Amino acid sequence: MEDKLVKADEEWKKLLTPMQYSVARKKSTESPFTGIYDNFYNEGFYFCICCGARLFNSKDKFNAGCGWPAFSDIISNKHIQLHTDKSHGMVRIEVTCARCDGHLGHLFNDGPPPDGLRYCINSASIKFIEKSETQTQ
Q: Which residues are catalytic?
A: 120
In DSSP notation, 101-115 reads --EEEEEES-S-TTT
Cβ partners under 8 Å of residue 14, min gap 6: none
Please give the span between the terminal C-alpha atoms of the chain, in angstroms, as a whole number: 17
* Best CA proximity match to 109, nearest among 69, 55, 70: 70
